[in-house]
């Protein structure tokens, strides 16, 4: 939660996380939102302390993923939220894609549009995949990858405080028979750097008949000591003729199952057999669906099957082989999608380059056409030049001839003039 002195960190446009206690989302969840503006106090109190004013501050926020309907149109949820229900966005974990968690680690899980508290049940065969028990709602065991998990942090007095790993106190069935504490293990929260109540209590059931641990109900209170196991109230399942027929199916011959159906003890007795048979058929359908999956199937189908397997696992089904194949198929689908994306990108580049080539080719044709016109023009000019040079040479030759003729005429003229003068000046004869 936000605390006194933090309000200067929440400016307009800042991204924050809003607690579900503000009225939306699953209990204990945090949801990403953006601050639109800080609203003025409705009834400012004269003389109120700065700390009290900050606690009374209200922010108008827009959720990034939560939606509401306005005139039958889905839009981002906008809501006024008290200062105490917001906090900054926690720092991104280092090496987020390859985080390593261990069983009983307290984590935040990104599920249904927000971060919700949970505890790691176990690491799966696929690297970076974990089964996680969510706190709310209980009985929800889901497969998550590392990027969808983060170590939980508390924002207190303007600082981030990590939550300590839960300590597990296991009491075995032998101790119970010897008069010890009931058969259960309690994941209890410890103090974190002086901050009390940082970790909620989580309950893990230990089966008194096998000693194996399996996740039970996360209620925050101890489980009933006399919870029945498979050899008590659920033995009716083995005697059901329908169950025997289902168990004779090929899938159960290939992958034998011995589910305990312990969660069904919370259901009405008249419903248990039908629910148990339903889970058996769910396993058959999931196995069949996985065997017929196509790489082109939507990713939501893979996620849905993983959730079904987690639910079946709660009822004692051994789903490791089926889940392992599904995760491999999911990984191969991811690889194919990446290759398809690359292929589409290359195709797009080919189309773009082809378009560019067509454009360049058209420009080149225009240039070649212009060059041909220029060459034709050049040839025409050169022919005209040669013709003019020839005419000019002919003119020069004619002029030379004319000049030569003028010289001869001048000599004749001089001779006639001389003769004229001679005749004119000659003496008269008697």
Q: Cβ–Cβ contacts within 10 Å for residue 344, how many? A: 10
Residue-range domain boundaries for the chain? 1-89, 92-227, 230-318
Q: Are strands 213-214 and 167-170 parallel, antiparallel or unpaired?
A: unpaired
**pLDDT tens digits for the chain (430 residues)?**
554 445 567 888 899 999 988 877 778 889 999 999 988 765 555 555 555 555 567 899 999 988 877 777 888 888 889 988 999 999 988 888 888 899 999 999 888 788 999 999 888 888 888 888 888 766 566 677 888 899 999 998 888 998 765 544 433 333 333 333 332 222 333 332 332 222 232 323 322 222 333 333 332 322 333 333 333 445 555 566 787 788 889 998 999 988 888 888 777 777 888 888 899 999 999 999 999 999 899 989 999 999 999 989 888 899 989 999 999 999 998 899 899 899 999 999 999 999 999 999 999 999 999 999 999 889 989 999 999 999 999 898 888 888 888 888 888 888 888 888 888 888 887 6
* Among candidate residues 275, 110, 141, the one with its CA nearest the CA of residue 204: 141
Architecture of the domain made up of 1-89:
Roll (2.30)
Our CA dihedral for 249, 251, 257, 260, rounded to 10 degrees, sits at -70
68-99 burial code (b ≥16 CB/10 A, e <16): eeeeeeeeebebebbbbbbbbebeeeeeeeeb
Partner residues linked to 202 by β-bridges: 187
Q: Structure pTM? A: 0.41
- Can you give the pLDDT at residue 235? 53
* pLDDT for res 168: 43
- pLDDT for res 147: 86
Strands 30-39 and 58-70, by their bridges, are antiparallel
CA-wise closest residue to 294 among 330, 319, 322: 330
Longest dimension (CA), the chain: 197
pLDDT for residue 365 = 92
Within a 13 Å sphere around the CA of 32, how many CA atoms are in the beta-carbon half?
A: 11
Chain centroid to CA 235? 46
Helix, coil or strand: residue 106: strand
Residue 106 class from Cβ within 10 Å (0-12 exposed, 13-18 middle, 19+ buried)?
A: buried
């Amino acid at each position: 939660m936000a605390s006194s002195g933090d309000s200067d960190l929440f400016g307009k446009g800042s991204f924050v996380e809003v607690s579900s206690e503000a009225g939306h989302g699953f209990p204990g969840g945090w949801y990403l939102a953006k601050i639109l503006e800080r609203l003025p106090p409705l009834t400012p109190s004269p003389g109120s302390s700065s700390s009290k004013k900050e606690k009374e501050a209200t922010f108008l926020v827009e959720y990034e993923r939560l939606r509401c309907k306005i005139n039958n149109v889905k839009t981002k949820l906008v809501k006024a939220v008290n200062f105490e229900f917001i906090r900054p966005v926690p720092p991104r974990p280092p090496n987020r894609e390859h985080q390593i968690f261990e069983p009983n680690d307290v984590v935040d899980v990104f599920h249904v549009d927000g971060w919700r508290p949970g505890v790691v049940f176990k690491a799966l065969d696929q690297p970076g995949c974990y089964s996680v028990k969510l706190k709310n709602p209980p009985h929800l065991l889901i497969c998550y990858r590392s990027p969808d998990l983060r170590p939980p942090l508390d924002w207190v007095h303007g600082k981030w405080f990590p939550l300590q790993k839960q300590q597990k106190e296991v009491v075995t069935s032998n101790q119970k028979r010897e008069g010890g504490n009931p058969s259960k293990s309690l994941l209890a929260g410890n103090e974190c750097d002086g901050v009390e109540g940082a970790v909620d209590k989580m309950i893990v059931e230990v089966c008194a008949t096998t000693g194996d641990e399996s996740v039970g109900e996360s209620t925050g209170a101890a489980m009933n000591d006399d919870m029945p196991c498979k050899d008590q109230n659920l033995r009716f399942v083995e005697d059901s003729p329908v169950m025997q027929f289902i168990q004779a199916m090929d899938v159960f011959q290939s992958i034998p199952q011995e589910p305990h159906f312990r969660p069904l003890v919370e259901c009405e007795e008249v419903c248990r057999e039908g629910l148990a048979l339903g889970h058996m058929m769910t396993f058959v359908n999931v196995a069949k669906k996985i065997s017929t999956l196509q790489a082109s199937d939507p990713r939501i189908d893979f996620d849905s099957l993983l959730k079904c397997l987690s639910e079946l696992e709660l009822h004692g089904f051994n789903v490791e082989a089926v889940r392992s194949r599904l995760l491999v198929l999911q990984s191969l689908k991811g690889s194919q999608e990446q290759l398809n994306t690359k292929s589409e990108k290359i195709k797009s580049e080919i189309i773009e380059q082809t378009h560019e080539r067509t454009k360049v080719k058209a420009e080149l044709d225009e240039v070649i056409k212009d060059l041909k016109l220029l060459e034709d023009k050049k040839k025409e000019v050169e022919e005209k030049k040669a013709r003019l040079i020839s005419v000019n040479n002919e003119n020069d030759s004619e002029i030379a001839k004319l000049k030569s003729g003028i010289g001869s005429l001048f000599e004749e003229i001089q001779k006639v003039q001389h003769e004229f003068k001679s005749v004119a000046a000659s003496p008269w004869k008697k």
